[in-house]
Amino acid sequence: MSAVQTTRAPEPVLSLAGKGESVGDRVFRYLLLTGLVVAIVFLVTLITFVILRGLPRLDSRIWQNMPTLRKPEMAGAQSAIMGTIWVVGTTALVSIPLGVAAAVYLEEFANPKRRVNRLIELNIQNLAAVPSIVYGILGLGIFVRGMGLGFTVLAAALTLTLLILPTVIIATREALRAVPQSIRHGSLALGATKLQTIMRQVLPAAIPGIATGQILALSRAIGEAAPLLLLGGLAFVTFNPDGLLSDYTVLPIQIYNWISNPKEEFRILASATIVVLLVILLAMNAFAIYLRNRFQKRI
Amino acid sequence: MTETTSRVHLTTSAERLASFEPVLDVRSLHVFYDDFEAVRGVDATFGRRQITAMIGPSGCGKSTVLRCFNRMNDLVPGARVEGTLTYHGMDLYAPEVDPIEVRRRIGMVFQKPNPFPKSIYDNIAYGPRVNKMKLNELDDVVQQALEKAALWDEVKDQLDKSALALSGGQQQRLCIARCIAVQPEVILMDEPCASLDPLATAKIEDLMQELANDYTIIIVTHNMQQAARVSDRTAFFTAEVDEAGVRYGRLIEMDDTQKIFTNPADQRTEDYISGRFG
Ligand SMILES: Nc1ncnc2c1ncn2[C@@H]1O[C@H](COP(=O)(O)OP(=O)(O)O)[C@@H](O)[C@H]1O
Ligand SMILES: [Mg+2]
């Protein structure tokens, strides 16, 4: 014991120089950076290429004119733009309440210890990974034929809803889980019911996360062509949808049609239309970010 | 410091101890988390308009017992309560009892301040709103609650500011005000000063003396000086290990604070009080 007491304090440190970053550290850092660079380079190349190629046709004709095969210089994508708005808008209207309800049930009511609930949870994760064409087949069987909806906006929107629902549920659950437990307890301890707590505290606090997840899921739906090819979206449509039971086409399918056309003018038009699709996606993502910031500030 | 306006006469601890009117009564309380018996065989009575402190080492079940009073243990999956808890003679765990009603009358302040991410006003108004209390003037209710919690002067010009912008001590007083706005009879406090600095702690302790005029307060604290300063009666809990080697929490003794701190009946209490514990 006394030996400890007689030990002298260490001499004052004269230098704080260290070994610096080792070679291994540096290599690892560059590897990480490479991953990022590869991703960015491809994205930038793609966007530049599409924009340059589509530039000659990037004008108001795209949204003012209908598609036509005879005069490529007069062709536009108005029916596809309107079709996309109709289909994705309907998808949003159906998937938001369904997804939020399912997530609230799983997160706030279901007992995680019960086997059924664990099974449901696992399956939702799996469903999110199912290829979209499978949903197309499902939609064809259930909505188009089974319920007799035919090749309509409604059948397409319901199918896309099934497609994005797992993603929406997972994102919403994450947002709900991020609401601190202390908020729920604080509310319940004041004599609020569980429903009041969810409606007045948990959901409002989770809105930024829910909105972000929902918009990201919808942007996936906007870009989907595969399932809609099975659902009648392939048709050459020269009119805008006028309701849920109207025929339709959507941007990815219109693009697909033009790309496979031998005439060069149509391929250029396809590039221009891709830019329109990208701009819509960008706008939606920007809106998601805006929503998140706005709600975060209000809190 | 908080006395900007003249207030009614504050009762002293001696006055509060002069009459004992039981509000909450606990008989052979056992609380389980799944198979683990966290609290074994507690008997205690809590007096009206008194401040009762529950002290004892960490993990001896103070919070567990406290959460039984407002049925917050219902929210813990696997928690089970055995024994009899009565509030004015009514069984708190009778099948027809609605936990919501219990929590309206027996409010709670948590260890970490947990203001809602809303304005100061909406925080206070939340309880009255969800309870659909008959209110002619919500503004008045909010003001009175904030006044009672000694926070009004500090926030009266910024009621629509976010409650999250307040300091920790202010947030905790906001939580007390929020609780008061529901007009409970009992206020449970689970280590309300654990995350606060000494000045903020002193304010809350002063506040508790004022609140004891109107409310029954049960405070959990691991700070013995705090218990000695603020409480009229003290319950000392500790954790013990039985013959089978199983750890459980129990109440050792409960008496007037003065007596517990100067002349405790049990050796274990004395050891803990004098810092000879563990
Ligand atoms: N939600 C819970 N689930 C399981 N065990 C718990 C839970 N809460 C508390 N316990 C256990 O119960 C015992 C008493 O805990 P607690 O009441 O928090 O003690 P204290 O408040 O006196 O520190 C501890 O052993 C703790 O681990
Ligand atoms: Mg505790």
B116/A196 touch (CB, cutoff 8 Å), yes or no:
no
- CA distance to partner chain A, nearest, from residue B266 (Å): 35
Residue B72 lies in a domain: yes
Protein residue with least CA distance to atom 8, ligand 1: B64
Residue B105 lies in a domain: yes
Does pLDDT of A260 surpass 60? yes
Residue to mutate, B32, B60, B64, B219, ligand 1, most ligand atoms under 8 Å from C-beta: B64
**Which ipTM did the prediction report?**
0.92
Three-state SS at A178: coil
Three-state SS at B197: coil
pLDDT value, residue B10: 75
Residue appearing with tokens 């219109």: A254
Closest alpha carbon within chain B to A206: B117
Model confidence over B6-61: pLDDT tens digits? Answer: 456 778 888 888 888 999 999 999 999 999 999 999 999 999 999 999 999 999 99
Residue B242 lies in a domain: yes
Residue B4 lies in a domain: no
Q: Which residue did the predictor score with more confidence, A198 or B1?
A: A198
Residue B278 lies in a domain: no
B179/A190 touch (CB, cutoff 8 Å), yes or no:
yes
Does pLDDT of B155 surpass 80? yes
Rounded Cα distance, B249 and B258, in Å? 24
Domain count, chain B: 1
Residue B212 lies in a domain: yes
Q: Are B248 and B239 in contact (CB under 8 A)?
A: yes
pLDDT value, residue A226: 87
Average pLDDT in chain A: 89
Quickly list DSSP for A204-217: HHHHHHHHHHHHHH
A190/B112 touch (CB, cutoff 8 Å), yes or no:
no
Closest alpha carbon within chain A to B72: A189
pLDDT value, residue A294: 78
Domain that holds residue B204: 13-273
Q: Are A239 and A193 in contact (CB under 8 A)?
A: no
Residue B50 CA: distances (Å) to CA of A226, B87, B188, B215: 71, 15, 12, 8
Q: Which residues surround ligand 2, an ion (CB under 5 A)?
A: B 63
What's the sign of the alpha-carbon dihedral B89, B92, B95, B98? Answer: positive
Quickly list DSSP for A213-239: HHHHHHHHHHH--HHHHHTTTTS---S
Residue B2 lies in a domain: no
Rounded Cα distance, A58 and A63, in Å? 10
Residue B55 lies in a domain: yes
Residue B248 belongs to domain with CATH number: 3.40.50.300
B77 neighbourhood in chain A, CB within 8 Å: 111, 113
Across the interface, of B101, B103, B114, the residue whose CB is closest to A182 is B114
B101/A190 touch (CB, cutoff 8 Å), yes or no:
no
Q: Are strands B36-47 and B22-33 parallel, antiparallel or unpaired?
A: antiparallel
